Structure 1
Amino acid sequence: MKKFVIEDQFWELFPKAKIGIAISRKIDNSIKDVEKYKEMISKAEEDALKHLQDEEFSNNKVIKAWREAFKEFKTKKGVRSSIEALLKRVHNKKGIGTINPLVDIYNSISLRYGLPCGGEDIDAFVGTVRLTKAKGDEQFVPLGTSENSPPYEGEIVYKDDAGAICRCWNWREASRTMLTENTKNAFLCIELIDDSRYSEFEKALYELRDMITENIGGRSRIEILDINNKEIIIE
């Protein structure tokens, strides 16, 4: 039985955080209609402009909130949240591009709601998945590379029994658990640190679930974890 557990080391830093989870089973993540997903991302990029009202990029609320959060634990120099990376591309008019249906879906949700979203292949998990502080010796091969790059001691990470899955909370994912066209079972998350945005967060999570069902089938369930609800069964 696989579980997802958010450990007290995380809650000590972020007691008001919420982590929304979508667990999707028996999906078809193969690429069939590239134009549909290009249009999906393009529309989301337009919607994302509402999060970039200040001409000074770093002054926008979403950017400021996550930069402050990243000051609470040790990170690599210059590391930024996944939502900042996406919004930066929109700000610089570079465009996001498409990858595969699941990634395109969660990127579109992330852009539209200004919330970090990510996803992993459940079948690649080894044992229990945890959101916690790293010990510093976890195996981690970043997406797009072949070299081990372990997290710092005290860095917030998602990890399982085989190593880190995502470094610096939501900065960089591991190649081992990445979503591919062959993914059949997926673990997706949306992260909230500003509890004044809870209604947007909840709406984003439900929309994520519905978009997965409508576009790639399968069955999906959602869960919200907080300091009073720290773990769920993945399967």
Structure 2
Amino acid sequence: MHDTTDHQELLAAAYVDDAVFDLRPDYQALLLTVEGIVPGASDESSENLLRQAEESAAQRLAEHPVEEFDHVAAWREAYRAFGAKPQRTRNSLEALIRRTETGLPRVNRLTDIYNAISVLHQVPLGGEDLAGYVGAPHLVRASGEEPFEVISGGEPGLEHPKPGEVIWRDDAGVTCRRWNWRQGPRTQLTAETTKALFILDALAPVTHGDLTATADALVGHLAEFSPNLRTSRRVIPAGPGPESP
């Protein structure tokens, strides 16, 4: 398990493979580590934020269908580029927006907050429990042999991504399939999580400033109930490899 307290070291070791940038040269990721989180179940504060996100999405949906939202459309194009069908495999942002019509899921305070921020800022946002993480995050195109732990029918199981699929992974295997489609149970956030890695994915027209604002909003809401919160962040634009943070 990942047990380092040096989050700067973790972030410096993270990388996006050149093969991913070949698909989308406009891609950038903001990686945010957070520790000192006061864990807890869903509460009034997270409920209010979810309702704000649902109302914001309803206003947008009244003007355009979700597939015409700028960032959703960009992600649909990116999914097609590595062979995924966006009508069947939806990026996390589109999946959340579609759920706002019947209500976003209420999971735990931490998950509720980052889901709401994702919808409010229109940025795919994933959260991983660093207690279950092994090594640093890498975004690569899969060989097809990487293990992806799942829960199926209440029982643990193992799947593998398709060759060429874009995956987030650590040293133990896949943490999120198809860029930002499906996260695994090994590193999922719970009501007991105290340290986390958040990954904010962006394609044009989302800018560096948009990513920063989204991360700032997330940190601000977490700090409201975690007075000793400590954070580190890094933006990975096109170009860097594992040896050059």
Scaled by the length of structure 1, the TM-score of the pair is 0.88
Matched positions, count: 231
What is the CA–CA distance in structure 1 between the aligned matches of 2:22 and 2:203, rounded to whole Å?
13
Residue 42, structure 1, aligned to residue 74, structure 2: no
What is the CA–CA distance in structure 2 between the aligned matches of 1:199 and 1:129, rounded to whole Å?
22
1:22/1:223 contact within 8 Å kept: yes
What is the CA–CA distance in structure 1 between the aligned matches of 2:221 and 2:186, rounded to whole Å?
25
Amino acid across the alignment from 1:138: E
1:154 CA drift (Å): 0.6
1:200 CA drift (Å): 2.5
Deviations 1:135-179 (A, max 9, x none): 111111236662212110110000112110000000000000111
Q: Which moved more, 1:178-187 or 1:143-152?
A: 143-152
1:137/1:150 contact within 8 Å kept: yes
1:139/1:164 contact within 8 Å kept: yes
Amino acid across the alignment from 1:63: V
What is the CA–CA distance in structure 1 between the aligned matches of 2:126 and 2:119, rounded to whole Å?
12
Residue number among 204, 213, 217 corresponding to 1:207 in the alignment: 217
Q: Report SS of the residue matched to 1:95.
A: coil
Amino acid across the alignment from 2:72: I
Residue 66, structure 1, aligned to residue 66, structure 2: no
The RMSD of aligned alpha carbons is 2.4
Residues 8 and 191 of structure 1: is their aligned pair in 2 closer, same or farther, counting only changes over 3 Å? same
What is the CA–CA distance in structure 1 between the aligned matches of 2:203 and 2:97, rounded to whole Å?
17
Amino acid across the alignment from 2:74: A
For residues 86-165 of structure 1, what are the structure 2 equivalents within 5 Å? Answer: 86-90=96-100, 93-142=101-150, 146-165=156-175
Amino acid across the alignment from 1:219: R
Match of 1:75 in 2: 84
Match of 1:170 in 2: 180
Q: Which moved more, 1:188-197 or 1:131-140?
A: 188-197
Residues 226 and 200 of structure 1: is their aligned pair in 2 closer, same or farther, counting only changes over 3 Å? same
Unaligned stretches of 5+ in structure 2? Answer: 1-8
Match of 2:4 in 1: none
1:116 CA drift (Å): 0.4
Residue 180, structure 1, aligned to residue 190, structure 2: yes
What is the CA–CA distance in structure 2 between the aligned matches of 1:156 and 1:181, rounded to whole Å?
29
Scaled by the length of structure 2, the TM-score of the pair is 0.85
What is the CA–CA distance in structure 2 between the aligned matches of 1:44 and 1:137, rounded to whole Å?
38
Residues 59 and 16 of structure 1: is their aligned pair in 2 closer, same or farther, counting only changes over 3 Å? closer
1:65 CA drift (Å): 1.7
Deviations 1:112-139 (A, max 9, x none): 0111001101121122321111111111
Residue number among 37, 42, 53 corresponding to 1:27 in the alignment: 37
Amino acid across the alignment from 2:68: N
